[in-house]
Structure 1
Amino acid sequence: MASDPPLVLDIDGTLTRPEGFGIDPRIFDPLLEWDAPVVLATGKAFPYPIALCHFLAIPEIAVAENGGVVYTGEEVTVTADRAAAQAVLEEYREAGYAAGWGGDDTINRWRATEVAINRDQPRDPLEAIAADYGLEVIDTGYAYHVKDPTVTKGQGLLALGEAAGIEVAEAVAVGDSINDVSTFEVVSRSFAVANADADAREAADEVLEETHADGTLAVVERVRASGE
């Protein structure tokens, strides 16, 4: 039986370098050595956490697109339809705005359930259009995500746990944003890194002194050392 609890980790702001750009390579060995499931739960499109798992050399287990896509390592479950979010983006463009990621838009190319808009674009008209389609806009600090309000990371994590036999109620989670609040609500212990937004800080069991990957590494070391 694994001595470590399951670990649920956001990516942006949580596994990134102290300056916030790029994955911090110091996370590789601790996550590889973790002897319980490591779940990457992110707002990024599905291919991103899978690729990161691949390069970390850990099992490919993920909750992507804020709960819109769940992967157990054997089966992909899509919990929302991108059609409405895409319609919001098209109407937003017709109003004279843009997704803001350049011509190729690799941020949205592989999304199955939502769209992400650069935060340098106006939020108010985006929210107004999204509301007409019954969707919400959340600001993760990295993008505005246009998504189904009934879909969350926490729900995706619970579905993953049931399908993959992971004890979510025993898990430890680390995050930094409003989209991690639902994750914090379903795990045993939750930590917000010091760079976290107000929603994540309020929802977490503990706010760390360290930012970004420094905070995540501190949690990993503490939990392993204490056997909690």
Structure 2
Amino acid sequence: MVRPLAVDIDGTLTRPKPDRGVDPRVFDALRAYAEEAPVVVATGKSFPYPVGLCDFVGVPVRVIAENGGVVCIEEGGSDDPYGGGRFGDGIVYNGDREAAEAVAREYEAAGHSLGWGSVDLVNRWRETELAVAREQPLAPLEAIAADHDLEVVDTGYAYHVKSPDVDKDLGLETAAARLGYAPDEFLAIGDSENDAELFAVAGESYAVANADDHALAAADHVTDAGYAEGFLEALARVAE
């Protein structure tokens, strides 16, 4: 049986830094995998990004966004692999949006910037957490977040301010239930600290070679290649 797949975007489906683009080779790979089993895109990005990725790949909109803060699963039977636009109970929102917004206000009032410029597309559509550029001061961000009972997670691409009880494993539990699976039936592939939480509940996990120490320690397997090349290697190894 082909396991359903939960896969990260940044650092996993993308080209090596500093290129942020998705490697085009993953489009056909994701589409082919979705013909065999559900594919769930699990990312720290705000909700529209994974939805757009699914749409352009041509797979059902099955996403865990904002590190588990938003979950949306398009339904579809075995005779309808691309879903048909049915979303059951709709979108699940976790986390504390008001607390995240309060952290942003206090951080900026203290003289710091979120780091994304005057047009902040990183946070514009974010619904359950806050993302701060990694070039910005971390210590005051952590202190302000703690005052609001939030935590800061470094994904290697941004500092994410989120509720401590909201992460990708909660997102996978929600997504799996809607798809009729248990989390431990999933294959998970990722590269960072927020993916380590996903690995903890998935049945099999791969960290790509560029992964951070948290993900490397949590994964069942580590690929020889990094970034999208590592993702494709992981799929090839699973298929052997």
Q: Distance in 1 between matches of 2:96 and 2:227?
A: 31
TM-score, scaled relative to structure 2: 0.91
- Residue 22 of structure 1: aligned partner: 21
Q: Which moved more, 1:44-53 or 1:167-176?
A: 167-176
Structure 1 stretches of 4+ with a deviation exceeding 6 A read none
- Residue 65 of structure 1: aligned partner: 66
Q: Distance in 2 between matches of 1:115 and 1:89?
A: 7
- Residue 84 of structure 2: aligned partner: none
| Residues 164-194 of structure 1: per-residue CA shift (max 9 Å, x gap) | 2134312111110000111101111111111
Q: Distance in 2 between matches of 1:167 and 1:25?
A: 30
TM-score, scaled relative to structure 1: 0.95
- Residue 41 of structure 1: aligned partner: 42
- Residue 191 of structure 2: aligned partner: 176
CA-CA distance at 1:72 after TM superposition: 1.1
2:234 corresponds to 1:207? no
Q: 5 Å matches for 1:71-110?
A: 71-73=72-74, 74=87, 75-110=90-125
CA-CA distance at 1:151 after TM superposition: 0.4
Q: Distance in 1 between matches of 2:178 and 2:2?
A: 20
- Residue 8 of structure 2: aligned partner: 10
Q: Distance in 2 between matches of 1:30 and 1:181?
A: 23
Q: Distance in 2 between matches of 1:10 and 1:39?
A: 9
RMSD in angstroms over aligned alpha carbons? 1.0
Q: Which runs of 5+ in 2 are unaligned?
A: 75-86
Q: Distance in 1 between matches of 2:20 and 2:142?
A: 28
Matched position secondary structure for 2:206:
strand
Matched position secondary structure for 1:185:
helix
